[in-house]
Structure 1
Amino acid sequence: MPTITSTCLATTTWPPLPSKPNKGTPLRYRIEHETRLIYDGPIWEHQCELRLTPRQDEWLRLLDHSIDIYPEANPQVLRDGFGNPIHTVSLLPRHTRFVTRMRAEVETLRANPFAFEPLPLDQESPWLARRLAEEPRLRLFLGRSSLTPNLAPMSEAYGPFPERDRQLPLGEAIMKAMGWIQERLRYDPDATHVHSGLELVFQEGGGVCQDFAHLLIALIRGWGYPARYVMGYQDPGNTPHQKGAAPNQATHAWIEALVPGVGWMGFDPTNLLAVNDLYIPVAVGRDSTDTPPQRGCFRGGASERMEIAVRVTPIRSDEVGV
């Protein structure tokens, strides 16, 4: 298999994070992500996008990264409209398997996500108005989709939904809303599927990290604040509320909200946590349809079967000579 090394990818800086980050002692992780697509007949003219490269910023350093691909291909490395690094693959010959193996080492630095002074409540709205005027593309994260809909029409059947607590800074109000989600929904890998909307989530009374993230995004956007979906990895021990989930089984999902005076701040509604150095972001978007680890199309009438294996391993300081 050819190896594509991507340690030189540029830092993503959209939009800026807090000017004085609270960086603690770095945590280091090794990530291995293998996807096998197996077909029951030949396919050809296979086009595929891979979102498997951790996003670099001042909270995360990408120390090493490679992607092995079978059959052999020469991927193009670029960024999508949200700044996510992607590899695009084109396989013209006939084949019955498509295998990708990603390996990376990263350092994470966000030790304390609450190490900032929140803006006074009466300054939140002016701050947000200025940011939206300066960065019009932030309005992308105010819009609705089938996965992050306006919740008002569902209120009679499934509400009432949490209103913005105007006595609390936005970050604390979001933490309070996550508590409501935890009370309302259970983590259940069998309740929903990858294309499930929130109505099915409410009907089943549960779902997975993707569903919890979509619900929190819908709530925050309903309050008038930008929120975006994040796909990535987490420390395998960081799953206190994911009963029934196998550690290292797959990617994880959480959200980021544009918190006045701070910038993008991460929240994990599945585990009722603010995002810290136990999280490794890979891609952001309006909802999960913008962030698939792998997406493609091909010619041929074969059926596809997918096998995924993910391993996130904390690296001890004595392993790196620190």
Structure 2
Amino acid sequence: MSAEVRLSVSHTTTYRYSTPVETALHLATVRPLDRPWQRVVTHHVSIDPAPSYESARIDAFGNEVRYFSFDAPHESLLVTSETTVVLTPRWGALDASATPTWEDVAAQLRFRAGGPYRPESEFVFASPNIELAPELRAYALPSFAPGVPIIAGAIDLMHRIHAGFTYEPQATAFDTPALRAFRLRQGVCQDFAQVMIGCLRSLGLASRYVSGYLRTLPPAGAPRLIGADASHAWVSVFCPDTGWVDLDPTNDVLADLDHVTLAVGRDYSDVSLLRGIILGGGAHTVDVAVHVTAQ
């Protein structure tokens, strides 16, 4: 088993407006999550110009969301997040073939009057970007024959999406629904993740969207992962006893020591890094720079 790793994450987003923004309200999800296998050592956010108001809260999914607003004109916005995390290996004891059958897991997540509430069941349903389409279920079923262990099936589905879809940044946009990306068989990490989530949910399985980062330069001898130098996305599927298991269909790997978890939600619409409402601004350009390096 590999030793823990310490990673430094730098994420800078710059907006430039063609005319001044008179007033603005923004939400940012930029602080990585603390988890048993991911410890946030340091975290700092700087915003230029300085906001008129700023606060933070924890959202319904456990993510820290930062709110800030401006009541003075400005022609640009620079948000910089600097974080250091320590990651611990997660999957040394995972035996995918020994996990419960997918039918048993789906049965546990179905609503029964008077039955116990399973919070994971919140991630079985459709969400703004992901509908439960019959064609997603049909695509998923070859990986989930009767009696297949849930994680073995999910890993097989990940392999198939990785092999059958083309990574093409120009094919989709930030708001492309999962079903459109599925029909195109093209897209970026966000699309790969949302398609896989739609497939899993179509079978009654709990699956959530994970946003985060990839290590920019891999360890010696390892391939450079697709999606480095930008924010990344992958899938988390729920398995009783094991918990949430993170799979990266863009790179066909379990998310581990190269993946920094930022936030979780139903789909991209819950965890977009920076969003807001502005008055004025005209046309705008945005530049994003991400660097994740080992310390």
TM-score by length of 1: 0.80
Q: Deviations over 1:61-119 (max 9, x none)?
A: 00011001111125212111111012111111111111111101000013425536844
- Equivalent residue for 2:191, pick from 187, 211, 220: 211
Return the letter of the residue paired with 1:148. I
Whether the 8 Å contact between 1:187 and 1:241 is mirrored in structure 2 is: no
Report sequence identity in percent.
25
Q: 1:142: Cα distance to partner?
A: 1.0
Return the letter of the residue paired with 2:81. M
Q: Deviations over 1:234-278 (max 9, x none)?
A: 1224695966x5x31x10000111112211110111111112122
Return the letter of the residue paired with 1:206. Q
Return the letter of the residue paired with 1:143. F
Q: Distance in 2 between matches of 1:304 and 1:276?
A: 36
Q: How does 1:278-293 map to 2 (within 5 A)?
A: 278-293=258-273
Q: 1:303: Cα distance to partner?
A: 2.0
Q: How does 1:81-96 map to 2 (within 5 A)?
A: 81-96=60-75
Q: 1:42: Cα distance to partner?
A: 1.1
Task: Rate the CA distance shift 1:272–1:114 in 2: closer, same or farther, 3 A.
Answer: farther
Q: Is 1:32 aligned to 2:6, yes or no?
A: no
| Count of equivalent residues | 286
Q: 1:304: Cα distance to partner?
A: 2.1
Q: 1:307: Cα distance to partner?
A: 0.8
Residue 320 (structure 1) aligns with: none
TM-score by length of 2: 0.87
CA RMSD, aligned part only?
2.7
Q: Distance in 1 between matches of 2:14 and 2:87?
A: 28
For the residue of structure 2 that corresponds to 1:161, the secondary structure is helix
Q: 1:146: Cα distance to partner?
A: 4.7
Task: Rate the CA distance shift 1:224–1:286 in 2: closer, same or farther, 3 A.
Answer: same
Residue 254 (structure 1) aligns with: 234
Q: 1:59: Cα distance to partner?
A: 0.8
- Higher alpha-carbon deviation: 48-57 or 117-126: 117-126
Q: Distance in 1 between matches of 2:41 and 2:224?
A: 30
For the residue of structure 2 that corresponds to 1:75, the secondary structure is strand
For the residue of structure 2 that corresponds to 1:72, the secondary structure is coil
For the residue of structure 2 that corresponds to 1:308, the secondary structure is strand
Return the letter of the residue paired with 1:102. S
Residue 50 (structure 2) aligns with: 72
Q: Distance in 2 between matches of 1:120 and 1:200?
A: 32
Unaligned runs of 5+ in 2: none
- Equivalent residue for 1:223, pick from 198, 203, 209: 203
- Equivalent residue for 2:175, pick from 178, 190, 195: 195
Q: Distance in 2 between matches of 1:125 and 1:161?
A: 17
Q: 1:129: Cα distance to partner?
A: 5.9
Residue 179 (structure 1) aligns with: 159
